[in-house]
Amino acid sequence: DTAVSQTPKYLVTQMGNDKSIKCEQNLGHDTMYWYKQDSKKFLKIMFSYNNKELIINETVPNRFSPKSPDKAHLNLHINSLELGDSAVYFCASSSRGNSNQPQHFGDGTRLSIL
Partner 1 sequence: GNSVTQMEGPVTLSEEAFLTINCTYTATGYPSLFWYVQYPGEGLQLLLKATKADDKGSNKGFEATYRKETTSFHLEKGSVQVSDSAVYFCALVINNAGNMLTFGGGTRLMVKP
Q: Which residues bind partner 1 (CB under 8 A)?
A: 4, 31, 33, 35, 40-45, 48, 55-56, 90, 92, 94, 96, 99-100, 102-108
> Closest separation between CB of residue 105 and partner 1, Å?
4
For the bound state, the minimum distance from the C-beta of residue 32 to partner 1, rounded and expressed in Å, comes to 11
Neighbours of 7 (CB within 10 A): 13
Q: How far is the CB of 74 from partner 1 (least distance, A)?
A: 14
DSSP reduced 3-state for 25: strand
Query: Can you list the positions of beta strands (E) in the chain?
Result: 4-7, 10-13, 19-25, 31-37, 43-50, 53-57, 64-70, 73-78, 87-94, 104-105, 109-113
**Minimal distance, residue 80 CB to partner 1, in Å:** 27
Is 45 or 72 the residue whose CB approaches partner 1 more closely? 45
Nearer to partner 1, 73 or 108 (CB): 108
Say how far apart CA 96 and CA 101 lie, in whole Å: 9
